[in-house]
Amino acid sequence: MTAKVFVITGPSGVGKGTLIRALREQVPGLELSVSATTRDPRPGEVDGIDYHFLTQDQFDSHQESGDFIEWARYAGNRYGTLSSELSERLASGVAVVLEIEVQGARQVRSSLPDAVQVFIDPPSEESLRSRLAARGTDTPDEVESRLQTAHSEIAAGKEFAHRICNDQLEQAVDELVAIVRRELDS
């Protein structure tokens, strides 16, 4: 049996990270792929845990070597999933969760067609604005840029096999857990 890959996608600020944390508490054994990025670490973020923080040159070199399963430009930075985050785990039967934006999720759809893709919707675009502002990690310009991108990302939601609205967190977690358990059991 091949281990499963779960892709959790949706706009920045929709709560993907919170949902994945709750999912992993309820479904033990799921491992999280640590993405590579050229963005600067935010206060408290740890290299190798939150992201692999790379220089532009390091990211270029991984791209040239074909090390990424997917990568995308997002809000002025590059983000990507290194194949090394998946290969050993999948070979040893460990299911992996990817938290990525929509362009990357589309690439995974063609490179790993068996991956289970879940799109997370915000209850409204206004709710995204307040969450991004409350998070306090982005400048007002960055918040605006993320919201503009969110608009087209939400329009892409219909491409995804599973779609969950993160209105009530507990209910959204229950829906995500149900999808993942069903796929793991199938």
Task: Give contact residues for ligand 5GP (rule: CB under 6 A).
Answer: 12, 16, 35, 39, 70, 72, 74, 79-81, 99-101, 103-104
CB of 65 to ligand 5GP, least distance (A): 16
**Closer Cβ to ligand 5GP, 123 or 182, answer by number:** 123
**Closer Cβ to ligand 5GP, 12 or 166, answer by number:** 12
CB of 158 to ligand 5GP, least distance (A): 18
Phi, psi of 130 (to 5 degrees): -70, -35
CB of 100 to ligand 5GP, least distance (A): 4
CA dihedral 79, 22, 123, 130 (to 10 degrees): -70
What's the DSSP call for residue 47? Answer: B
Neighbours of 91 (CB within 10 A): 10
- The dihedral region occupied by 29, where left means phi > 0, alpha psi between -120 and 50, and beta the remainder, is left
**Closer Cβ to ligand 5GP, 101 or 175, answer by number:** 101
Give Rg (Cα) of the chain. Answer: 16
**Closer Cβ to ligand 5GP, 149 or 184, answer by number:** 149
